[in-house]
């Protein structure tokens, strides 16, 4: 059954998007239902789905091998360069080209570009048969960099650079405290990391390695795809009213995002391939570079500008574009294994 789901994952993603949009359109009160799960500006149902989605891939990680990522400092430096220099600049450039007359939307997707992926990359890498240990180590490293440098980069790309280019944006104090970013990283990465690590440590001791890898991991693997599809459905239904009300704006925001994900992936892919980096590590680096932390981006936009602000609308379009595009890139990677 899981093989059928994996084989036609792109179709299920597409159907989940359509179903979510239609449910949100014909049943606008669905927002009130989802709001029942909100606590301190977090939708706990969405948080649960994201944690459940992350858990199976992280339960598969052989944590003893994670430190091997530091053996090749050249590859590590290349990954960090893609994530923290190339990625934010490319997103800013695309936002400027396509949305300079809509500076609030421009802000929203710039923040997406600054929020490097520390969660969903684990899912994409796992689906593409990447090196789990390498992916996990890169994600952990990106988490540290995100806590240290997000605020500095946000000030540069949202204030200094637009000012140099003559783009006037109403000033607003962003909620980018180290505490808020650290909390986000802990929730979406730390908790599933701890659960995955403890599962491997405890269950292998109790039941043995063979049982753990053949029985337990097989049993929990469907959780990732099931929660992924439900998350997509939920997000699409939650914001379908805005998407249908502003379809052209949604498309204008989607275009630079699509180009961003594709450019980052293939730039990383072909440079890694040229440098004879094997397929598994190439996938880890490429999906790490192309994915983004939409949870953090949305949270910062809502906290700083309000849930109805154009910046928040731009950030919310992010995952609706990222998920189907990254799924297609997973399919491409599997067909081009070397």
| Per-residue pLDDT at 2 | 47
Helix axes 132-155, 279-290, angle to 10 degrees: 30
**CA-CA distance, 231 to 217, in Å (whole number)?**
22
| Per-residue pLDDT at 179 | 67
| Per-residue pLDDT at 76 | 84
| Per-residue pLDDT at 291 | 86
Q: What is the DSSP string of 198-234?
A: HHHHHHHHHH-HHHIIIIIHHHHHHHHHHHHHHHHHH
Q: Show Cβ contacts of residue 165 under 8 Å, excluding neighbours closer than 6 positions.
A: 96, 100
One digit per residue, pLDDT tens: the chain, 338 residues? 445 666 677 788 788 889 999 999 899 889 889 889 888 767 888 888 888 887 888 888 787 777 776 777 888 889 899 999 999 999 999 999 999 889 889 999 999 999 887 667 888 898 899 988 888 888 878 877 887 788 888 888 988 888 888 877 654 555 555 666 677 667 777 888 889 889 999 999 999 999 998 999 989 988 888 888 888 888 888 778 878 888 889 899 999 999 999 999 999 999 999 999 999 999 999 999 998 877 778 777 776 776 667 888 888 888 888 888 998 999 999 999 98
| Per-residue pLDDT at 227 | 87
What tokens were used for 238? 């939650």
| Per-residue pLDDT at 85 | 94
Whether the pTM exceeds 0.75: the reply is yes
Determine the Cα angle at 313 with ends 308 and 316, to 5°.
125
Cβ(235)–Cβ(319) under 8 Å?
A: yes
Instruction: Tell me which fold the domain 2-335 belongs to.
Output: Na+/H+ antiporter like fold (1.20.1530)
């Amino acid at each position: 059954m899981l093989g059928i789901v994996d084989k036609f994952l792109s179709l299920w993603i597409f159907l989940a998007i359509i179903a979510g949009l239609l449910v949100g359109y014909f049943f606008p009160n669905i927002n009130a239902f989802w709001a029942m799960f909100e606590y301190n500006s977090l939708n706990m149902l969405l948080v649960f789905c994201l944690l459940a989605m992350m858990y199976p891939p992280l339960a598969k990680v052989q944590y003893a091998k994670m430190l091997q990522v530091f053996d090749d400092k050249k590859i590590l430096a290349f990954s960090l360069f893609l994530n923290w220099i190339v990625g934010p600049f490319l997103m800013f450039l695309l936002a400027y080209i396509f949305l300079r007359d809509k500076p609030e939307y421009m802000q929203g997707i710039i923040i997406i570009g600054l929020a490097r992926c520390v969660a969903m990359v684990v899912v994409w890498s796992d689906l593409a048969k990447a090196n789990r240990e390498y992916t996990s180590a890169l994600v952990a490293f990106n988490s540290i960099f995100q806590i240290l440098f997000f605020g500095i980069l946000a000030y540069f790309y949202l204030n200094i650079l637009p000012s140099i280019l003559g783009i006037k944006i109403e000033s607003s104090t962003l909620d980018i405290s180290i505490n808020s970013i650290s909390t986000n990283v802990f929730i979406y990465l730390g908790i599933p990391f701890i659960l995955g690590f403890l599962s491997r440590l405890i269950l292998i001791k109790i039941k043995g390695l063979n049982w753990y890898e053949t029985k337990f991991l097989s049993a929990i693997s469907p959780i990732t795809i099931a929660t992924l599809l439900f998350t997509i459905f939920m997000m699409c239904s939650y914001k379908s009213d805005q998407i249908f009300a502003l379809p052209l704006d949604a498309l204008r925001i989607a275009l630079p995002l699509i180009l961003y994900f594709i450019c980052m992936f293939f730039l990383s892919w072909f440079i890694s391939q040229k440098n004879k980096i094997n397929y598994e590590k190439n996938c880890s680096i490429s999906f790490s570079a192309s994915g983004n932390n939409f949870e953090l981006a949305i949270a910062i936009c809502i906290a700083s500008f309000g849930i109805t602000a154009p910046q928040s609308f731009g950030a919310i379009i992010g995952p609706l574009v990222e998920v189907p595009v990254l799924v297609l890139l997973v399919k491409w990677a599997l067909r081009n294994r070397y």
